[in-house]
Amino acid sequence: MLLRIREQNEALKKEKMHLADSLADIAHQLRTPLTSANLILSLLEKDPDEKERRAFVRETEELLVRMDWLLTSLLKLSRLDAGVVVFQKEPVDGYDLINAALRPLLIPMELHGIVVQTDVRKSVPSKSASSQPDSPVVIQGDSGWLAEAVQNILKNCIESIGDNGKIEIGLTDTVLFTEISIHDSGPGFESAELPRIFDRFYSGKSTGSTGRAGYGIGLALCRMIILRQGGTVTAKNHPQGGAVFVIRFPK
Protein backbone atom coordinates (compact mmCIF):
# COMPACT_ATOMS: atom_id res chain seq x y z
CA MET A 1 0.00 0.00 0.00
CA LEU A 2 2.86 2.37 0.90
CA LEU A 3 4.58 1.49 -2.35
CA ARG A 4 1.44 2.29 -4.37
CA ILE A 5 1.05 5.63 -2.56
CA ARG A 6 4.68 6.53 -3.29
CA GLU A 7 4.23 5.62 -6.97
CA GLN A 8 1.09 7.76 -7.19
CA ASN A 9 2.89 10.68 -5.54
CA GLU A 10 5.77 10.37 -8.00
CA ALA A 11 3.34 10.25 -10.92
CA LEU A 12 1.55 13.36 -9.62
CA LYS A 13 4.86 15.22 -9.23
CA LYS A 14 5.87 14.35 -12.80
CA GLU A 15 2.46 15.42 -14.11
CA LYS A 16 2.72 18.71 -12.19
CA MET A 17 6.21 19.37 -13.61
CA HIS A 18 5.01 18.51 -17.13
CA LEU A 19 2.07 20.91 -16.75
CA ALA A 20 4.35 23.69 -15.50
CA ASP A 21 6.77 23.15 -18.42
CA SER A 22 3.88 23.12 -20.90
CA LEU A 23 2.46 26.36 -19.53
CA ALA A 24 5.89 27.97 -19.74
CA ASP A 25 6.25 26.81 -23.35
CA ILE A 26 2.80 28.14 -24.25
CA ALA A 27 3.57 31.52 -22.64
CA HIS A 28 6.84 31.70 -24.57
CA GLN A 29 5.15 30.80 -27.86
CA LEU A 30 2.56 33.54 -27.38
CA ARG A 31 4.97 36.16 -26.06
CA THR A 32 7.21 36.08 -29.14
CA PRO A 33 4.59 37.22 -31.72
CA LEU A 34 3.04 39.61 -29.20
CA THR A 35 6.41 41.31 -28.66
CA SER A 36 6.93 41.57 -32.41
CA ALA A 37 3.44 43.03 -32.91
CA ASN A 38 3.99 45.64 -30.19
CA LEU A 39 7.33 46.63 -31.75
CA ILE A 40 5.76 46.97 -35.20
CA LEU A 41 2.90 49.09 -33.82
CA SER A 42 5.37 51.49 -32.16
CA LEU A 43 7.28 51.81 -35.45
CA LEU A 44 4.00 52.27 -37.32
CA GLU A 45 3.08 55.21 -35.11
CA LYS A 46 6.38 57.03 -35.77
CA ASP A 47 6.95 56.21 -39.46
CA PRO A 48 5.47 58.87 -41.81
CA ASP A 49 6.20 56.88 -45.01
CA GLU A 50 2.91 55.45 -46.35
CA LYS A 51 4.56 52.52 -48.13
CA GLU A 52 6.41 51.39 -45.02
CA ARG A 53 3.27 51.82 -42.91
CA ARG A 54 1.39 49.45 -45.22
CA ALA A 55 4.20 46.90 -44.97
CA PHE A 56 4.05 47.14 -41.15
CA VAL A 57 0.27 46.61 -41.22
CA ARG A 58 0.63 43.52 -43.43
CA GLU A 59 3.29 42.11 -41.11
CA THR A 60 1.08 42.72 -38.07
CA GLU A 61 -1.85 40.99 -39.76
CA GLU A 62 0.37 37.99 -40.52
CA LEU A 63 1.47 37.80 -36.89
CA LEU A 64 -2.15 37.87 -35.72
CA VAL A 65 -3.08 35.09 -38.15
CA ARG A 66 -0.21 32.93 -36.85
CA MET A 67 -1.25 33.63 -33.25
CA ASP A 68 -4.82 32.65 -34.07
CA TRP A 69 -3.57 29.38 -35.59
CA LEU A 70 -1.39 28.74 -32.54
CA LEU A 71 -4.26 29.26 -30.08
CA THR A 72 -6.61 27.11 -32.16
CA SER A 73 -4.03 24.30 -32.34
CA LEU A 74 -3.39 24.48 -28.59
CA LEU A 75 -7.13 24.18 -27.92
CA LYS A 76 -7.29 21.14 -30.20
CA LEU A 77 -4.33 19.57 -28.38
CA SER A 78 -5.97 20.18 -25.01
CA ARG A 79 -9.21 18.56 -26.21
CA LEU A 80 -7.29 15.52 -27.42
CA ASP A 81 -5.33 15.34 -24.16
CA ALA A 82 -8.57 15.47 -22.16
CA GLY A 83 -10.04 12.65 -24.26
CA VAL A 84 -13.20 14.60 -25.14
CA VAL A 85 -12.78 14.18 -28.91
CA VAL A 86 -14.78 11.35 -30.44
CA PHE A 87 -13.36 10.34 -33.83
CA GLN A 88 -15.80 9.17 -36.48
CA LYS A 89 -15.08 5.82 -38.12
CA GLU A 90 -16.18 6.16 -41.72
CA PRO A 91 -14.77 5.45 -45.19
CA VAL A 92 -12.76 8.43 -46.48
CA ASP A 93 -11.63 8.76 -50.09
CA GLY A 94 -7.87 9.27 -49.90
CA TYR A 95 -7.76 11.56 -52.95
CA ASP A 96 -10.56 13.75 -51.55
CA LEU A 97 -8.73 13.84 -48.22
CA ILE A 98 -5.55 15.16 -49.87
CA ASN A 99 -7.53 17.78 -51.80
CA ALA A 100 -9.31 18.91 -48.63
CA ALA A 101 -5.95 19.33 -46.86
CA LEU A 102 -4.48 21.24 -49.84
CA ARG A 103 -7.41 23.58 -50.49
CA PRO A 104 -6.67 26.22 -47.79
CA LEU A 105 -2.99 26.26 -48.80
CA LEU A 106 -3.36 26.75 -52.56
CA ILE A 107 -3.02 30.56 -52.48
CA PRO A 108 0.11 30.62 -50.25
CA MET A 109 1.68 27.92 -52.44
CA GLU A 110 0.89 29.87 -55.59
CA LEU A 111 2.38 33.05 -54.12
CA HIS A 112 5.60 31.18 -53.30
CA GLY A 113 5.74 29.32 -56.61
CA ILE A 114 5.37 25.89 -54.99
CA VAL A 115 4.38 23.03 -57.30
CA VAL A 116 2.34 20.07 -55.99
CA GLN A 117 2.26 16.67 -57.69
CA THR A 118 -0.07 13.87 -56.56
CA ASP A 119 0.44 10.20 -57.48
CA VAL A 120 -2.16 7.52 -56.64
CA ARG A 121 -1.08 3.87 -56.74
CA LYS A 122 -3.37 0.92 -56.07
CA SER A 123 -1.96 -2.58 -55.71
CA VAL A 124 -4.94 -4.32 -54.13
CA PRO A 125 -6.10 -7.28 -56.26
CA SER A 126 -9.64 -7.08 -57.67
CA LYS A 127 -12.22 -9.29 -55.97
CA SER A 128 -14.12 -9.85 -59.20
CA ALA A 129 -13.87 -9.20 -62.92
CA SER A 130 -16.47 -6.46 -62.61
CA SER A 131 -14.42 -4.44 -60.10
CA GLN A 132 -13.44 -0.99 -61.29
CA PRO A 133 -9.66 -0.58 -61.72
CA ASP A 134 -9.92 3.08 -60.80
CA SER A 135 -11.92 2.53 -57.60
CA PRO A 136 -11.04 5.01 -54.83
CA VAL A 137 -8.36 4.43 -52.21
CA VAL A 138 -10.33 4.33 -48.96
CA ILE A 139 -9.11 5.12 -45.44
CA GLN A 140 -11.23 4.36 -42.38
CA GLY A 141 -11.28 7.37 -40.07
CA ASP A 142 -12.53 10.87 -39.35
CA SER A 143 -12.24 12.95 -42.53
CA GLY A 144 -12.07 16.35 -40.78
CA TRP A 145 -9.36 15.39 -38.32
CA LEU A 146 -7.39 13.44 -40.93
CA ALA A 147 -7.39 16.49 -43.22
CA GLU A 148 -6.12 18.55 -40.27
CA ALA A 149 -3.22 16.10 -39.76
CA VAL A 150 -2.20 16.07 -43.43
CA GLN A 151 -2.53 19.86 -43.64
CA ASN A 152 -0.15 20.36 -40.71
CA ILE A 153 2.49 18.28 -42.50
CA LEU A 154 1.96 20.33 -45.69
CA LYS A 155 2.34 23.57 -43.72
CA ASN A 156 5.63 22.29 -42.32
CA CYS A 157 6.81 21.46 -45.85
CA ILE A 158 5.82 24.91 -47.18
CA GLU A 159 7.77 26.66 -44.41
CA SER A 160 10.76 24.40 -45.03
CA ILE A 161 11.10 24.70 -48.81
CA GLY A 162 10.39 28.42 -49.19
CA ASP A 163 10.01 29.80 -52.73
CA ASN A 164 9.89 27.81 -55.98
CA GLY A 165 9.89 24.42 -54.30
CA LYS A 166 8.06 21.17 -54.98
CA ILE A 167 5.87 18.85 -52.91
CA GLU A 168 5.14 15.31 -54.06
CA ILE A 169 2.18 13.52 -52.48
CA GLY A 170 1.85 9.77 -52.91
CA LEU A 171 -1.26 7.73 -52.12
CA THR A 172 -0.67 3.98 -52.05
CA ASP A 173 -3.12 1.16 -51.32
CA THR A 174 -1.89 -2.40 -50.62
CA VAL A 175 -3.34 -5.51 -49.02
CA LEU A 176 -1.55 -4.61 -45.76
CA PHE A 177 -1.95 -0.84 -45.44
CA THR A 178 -2.98 2.46 -46.97
CA GLU A 179 -0.18 5.01 -47.13
CA ILE A 180 0.09 8.76 -47.70
CA SER A 181 3.63 9.99 -48.35
CA ILE A 182 4.60 13.66 -48.57
CA HIS A 183 8.04 14.52 -49.99
CA ASP A 184 9.29 18.11 -50.15
CA SER A 185 12.28 19.64 -51.92
CA GLY A 186 13.56 21.42 -48.81
CA PRO A 187 16.84 20.94 -46.94
CA GLY A 188 15.61 17.90 -45.01
CA PHE A 189 16.37 17.26 -41.34
CA GLU A 190 19.55 17.27 -39.33
CA SER A 191 20.24 13.83 -37.84
CA ALA A 192 19.87 15.19 -34.30
CA GLU A 193 16.40 16.53 -35.13
CA LEU A 194 14.79 13.32 -36.34
CA PRO A 195 14.02 11.73 -32.95
CA ARG A 196 12.23 14.93 -31.83
CA ILE A 197 10.38 15.99 -34.98
CA PHE A 198 6.95 15.19 -33.53
CA ASP A 199 7.67 16.35 -29.96
CA ARG A 200 5.40 19.05 -28.63
CA PHE A 201 6.92 22.57 -28.64
CA TYR A 202 10.04 21.36 -30.44
CA SER A 203 10.84 23.71 -33.32
CA GLY A 204 13.54 22.32 -35.57
CA LYS A 205 16.32 24.20 -37.30
CA SER A 206 15.24 23.33 -40.85
CA THR A 207 13.29 26.48 -41.69
CA GLY A 208 14.37 26.75 -45.32
CA SER A 209 14.46 30.07 -47.15
CA THR A 210 11.47 31.40 -45.20
CA GLY A 211 13.73 31.94 -42.19
CA ARG A 212 10.92 31.06 -39.79
CA ALA A 213 11.11 28.54 -37.01
CA GLY A 214 7.88 26.70 -36.31
CA TYR A 215 6.00 26.66 -33.03
CA GLY A 216 6.42 22.92 -32.53
CA ILE A 217 2.64 22.39 -32.42
CA GLY A 218 1.53 21.29 -35.88
CA LEU A 219 3.47 18.03 -36.14
CA ALA A 220 2.71 17.10 -32.52
CA LEU A 221 -1.00 17.59 -33.24
CA CYS A 222 -0.64 15.57 -36.45
CA ARG A 223 0.90 12.60 -34.65
CA MET A 224 -1.74 12.61 -31.94
CA ILE A 225 -4.58 12.65 -34.50
CA ILE A 226 -3.04 9.81 -36.53
CA LEU A 227 -2.20 7.61 -33.53
CA ARG A 228 -5.65 8.03 -32.00
CA GLN A 229 -7.14 6.68 -35.23
CA GLY A 230 -4.92 3.60 -35.35
CA GLY A 231 -2.31 4.88 -37.81
CA THR A 232 1.39 5.70 -37.69
CA VAL A 233 3.36 8.70 -38.92
CA THR A 234 7.13 8.92 -39.45
CA ALA A 235 9.59 11.44 -40.85
CA LYS A 236 12.98 10.94 -42.46
CA ASN A 237 15.34 12.35 -45.06
CA HIS A 238 14.65 11.29 -48.64
CA PRO A 239 17.57 9.63 -50.51
CA GLN A 240 17.15 12.20 -53.32
CA GLY A 241 17.09 15.13 -50.89
CA GLY A 242 14.40 16.85 -48.87
CA ALA A 243 12.15 15.48 -46.14
CA VAL A 244 9.53 12.76 -46.48
CA PHE A 245 6.60 12.12 -44.13
CA VAL A 246 4.81 8.77 -44.25
CA ILE A 247 1.33 8.15 -42.81
CA ARG A 248 0.14 4.55 -42.72
CA PHE A 249 -3.15 2.96 -41.76
CA PRO A 250 -3.02 -0.86 -41.45
CA LYS A 251 -5.87 -2.85 -42.96
Mean pLDDT across 202-217: 59
Model confidence at 213: pLDDT above 60:
no
> pLDDT over 90 for what percent of the chain?
39
CATH 3.30.565.10 intervals, the chain: 90-250
What pLDDT does 34 receive? 81
What is the architecture of the domain spanning 90-250?
A: 2-Layer Sandwich (3.30)
* Cα distance between residue 73 and residue 214, in whole Å: 13
What pLDDT does 10 receive? 87
Write the CA distances from 159 to 152, 156, 168, 192, 208, integer angstroms: 11, 5, 15, 19, 7
Q: pLDDT, tens digit, for every residue of 89-147?
A: 999 999 999 999 999 999 889 989 999 998 877 665 544 433 344 678 899 999 999 99
What is the architecture of the domain spanning 2-82?
A: Orthogonal Bundle (1.10)
For 47: left if phi > 0, alpha if psi spans -120 to 50, otherwise beta; the answer is beta
CATH 1.10.287.130 intervals, the chain: 2-82
Q: pLDDT, tens digit, for every residue of 7-44?
A: 888 888 877 776 666 667 677 667 777 888 888 888 77
* Cα distance between residue 177 and residue 232, in whole Å: 11
Mean pLDDT across 203-227: 71
What pLDDT does 192 receive? 85
pTM summary value: 0.75
What pLDDT does 149 receive? 95
